Amino acid sequence: MLLISCPYCGVERPETEFRYGGEAHIARPADPSQLNDEEWAQFLYMRTNTRGLYAERWRHAHGCGRFFNAVRDTVSDKFVCTYKAGEPKPDLDALARASQEKDAR
């Protein structure tokens, strides 16, 4: 069972308290009617589904109830960081390099 750190509560809690919410930083278009079918399909269905570091949404459903974002390695299942909704997306490439360097040491 994963331990996940809620950035609002500031504590690690078991994953059973959390609900997964899909890829992060996909903003709903301000005016969907302006999108053509192709663009709307992209928004609806296309996700990066990265092998490696992935920014994704989680909700502390059985805790504070807040949605937040996390960077998780989809290969090792390791959480690299969690951060509050609205905060900018971290530089995943930089995080991946830092993680590799850490492993190499």
Partner 1 sequence: MSAHSQNSTQSTRLAHGGRIDRSRTLQFSFDGKVMQAHPGDTLASALIANGVHLVGRSFKYHRPRGILTAGSEEPNALVGVYRHGDQTPNLRATQVEVYEGLMAISQNRYPSLDFDVGAINDVLSPLFPAGFYYKTFMWPKAFWDKVYEPVIRAAAGLGKPPKLADPDHYANLYAHCDVLVIGSGPAGLAAALSASETGARVILCDEQAEMGGSLLSETGSTIEGLPAADWVAATLATLAQRDNVTLLPRTTAFGYFVQNFIALAERVTDHLAQPDANLPRERMWQVRARQVVIAAGAHERPMVFPENDRPGILLASAGRTYLNRYGAAAGRRVLVTTACDSAWAAAFDLADAGVEVVAIADMRATPPEPLREAAARRGIRVEAACVVTGTSGRLRVSKAMLGRLRNDGSVVSAGDVTCDAILMSSGWTPSVSLYSQSRGKVVWNAEHEAFLPGASVQRERSAGSCRGVNGLAAVLEDGYAAGEQAAEAATGAARKGGRLTATGGEASTGGYLGALPHDRNAGRVKAFVDYQNDVTAKDVQLAVREGMMSIEHIKRYTTTGMATDQGRLSNMNALAIASGALGAPLPQVGLTTFRLPYSPTTFGTFAGSSRGDAFDPVRRTPSHDWVVAKGGVFEDVGQWKRTWYFPQGSEDMHAAVARECRVTRQSVGQFDASTLGKIEVVGKDAAEFLERFYTNPWKGLKPGRCRYAVLLNEAGYIIDDGVVGRLADDRFHVTTTTGGAARVFAMMEDFLQTEWPDLDVWITSTTEQYAVIAVQGPKAREVIAPFVEGIDLSNAAFPHMSVASGRFAGLPCRLFRVSFTGELGFEVNVPARHGAKVWELINAEVVKQGGCVYGTETMHVLRAEKGYIIIGQETDGTVTPDDAGLDWAIGKKKFDFVGKRSLSRPDLVAKGRKQVVGLLPVDPKQMLEEGAQITAEANPAKGTPALGHVTSAYWSEALGRTIALAIVKDGRARHGEVLNVPMPAGAVPVKVVDPVMYDPEGTRLNG
Binding region for partner 1 (CB under 8 A): 1-3, 19, 21, 27-28, 31-33, 35, 37, 40-41, 44, 57, 59, 61, 65-67, 76-78, 85-86
Q: H/E element holding 26?
A: none
- CA–CA distance, 25 with 11 (Å, rounded to integer): 23
User: What is the nearest approach in angstroms of partner 1 to the Cβ of residue 18?
Assistant: 12
Q: Which is nearer to partner 1, 78 or 97 (CB)?
A: 78
Query: How far is residue 11 from each of residues 3, 5, 31, 40, 51, measured CA to CA in Å?
Result: 10, 5, 37, 37, 27
User: What is the nearest approach in angstroms of partner 1 to the Cβ of residue 83?
Assistant: 13
